[in-house]
Amino acid sequence: MQDFLQQTLSGVPPQQKEGSNEHLRWQWHNEGLLSLTPHTATQQALVLSAGIHGNETAPVEILNLLMTPLLKGEKPLAVRLLVILGNPAALRSGKRYQQYDINRLFGGRWQQVADVPEAQRVLQLEQELENFWRACLDHEVRWHLDLHTAIRGSYHARFGVMPLNPNPWPEEFMHWLAAAELEALVFHRSPGGTFTHYSCEHHDAASCTLELGKALPFGENDLSQFAGVQQALAALLYGETLPDVRERPRHYRVAQQITRHGEKFVLHMGPETLNFTAFPQGTLLAEEGDTRYYVQQAREFVLFPNPHVAPGLRAGLMLVEENEQTQALAL
């Protein structure tokens, strides 16, 4: 097998489910699930995922470009690697999801919804991570990078979302994120049902959701926008030199969450509102019945505004930018 993406999109498992070349051995675990193990000893175990949302194609294309030389034996592998295309059915349909947004169902939250294929897929992904991390040696460093694109355009074309983590973030991990040319990092202050929160909370992995541009169909992505991310990933996978850090990302923290509960919900932002748009204190952001959401700080920035989410889900996050002193404490 030399094209992981096409094999996954075909919906048919490969005739040969495991193999090796001069650098590594690979194993197809299930649809969109592939592990690669180098022949030489390594100090790092990496989960690299994309396609959790089926309409977010740029990260999937980037991932496949990185995987192909490994499977062809053209590049060495410097980490023990689990590669995941999260929602193959949604990828084939070009839709964000079929029935449920699986990036809200991790950490056992899949048990709270109907027994549909997407809930079953989350359980399968949790089990795959459990098996992968269980095979870790004590000295192995655990990272999880989950590649996404945003529904809307953004003032920061490339940014990362960091899950709640009671422990300091590893310095090497933060350096890698800066070298990948992320323009901003957003730090959660509460738990969530995302893939990266699950890997951080349950498996002590340094994890980040990387948001790379705007969601577009296969073949319509300008991958040159993400050359820095691709180069940093190549350095991580192949053991090559990491690019120099040109500029440190700006840091934001989540100040409040806007939640849609029912049909009366109104978000006072148009479809043209970009991620990281700033609003002054007192601005009415959304309302639903007697509930109203206002900007509480002197200035807050919106992230992921979406009035069409299912009831009970996040319709937007409001952020505040952290100063240098607060950033140092967060690190």
What would the two tokens of residue 78 be?
A: 């410097």
Half-sphere exposure of residue 310: CA atoms within 13 angstroms, side-chain side: 9
Half-sphere exposure of residue 157: CA atoms within 13 angstroms, side-chain side: 11
Q: How far is CA 222 from the centre of its chain?
A: 19
Of 181, 201, 211, 288, the active-site residue reads: 211
Element (H, E) at 5: helix 4-9
Known catalytic residue: 211?
Answer: yes
Q: Which of 280, 276, 159, 172 is nearest to 229 (CA)?
A: 159
Has 197 been labeled as part of a binding site? no
Q: Which of 7, 27, 225, 238 is nearest to 132 (CA)?
A: 27
Is the four-CA dihedral 187, 227, 302, 289 of positive or negative sign?
negative
Asked whether the beta carbons of 276 and 184 are under 8 A apart, the reply is: yes
Has 29 been labeled as part of a binding site? no
Has 202 been labeled as part of a binding site? no
Asked whether the beta carbons of 307 and 260 are under 8 A apart, the reply is: yes
The residues assigned a catalytic role are: 211
Task: List, as residue ranges, the binding site.
Answer: 53, 56, 148
Task: List, as residue ranges, the binding site for Zn(2+).
Answer: 53, 56, 148
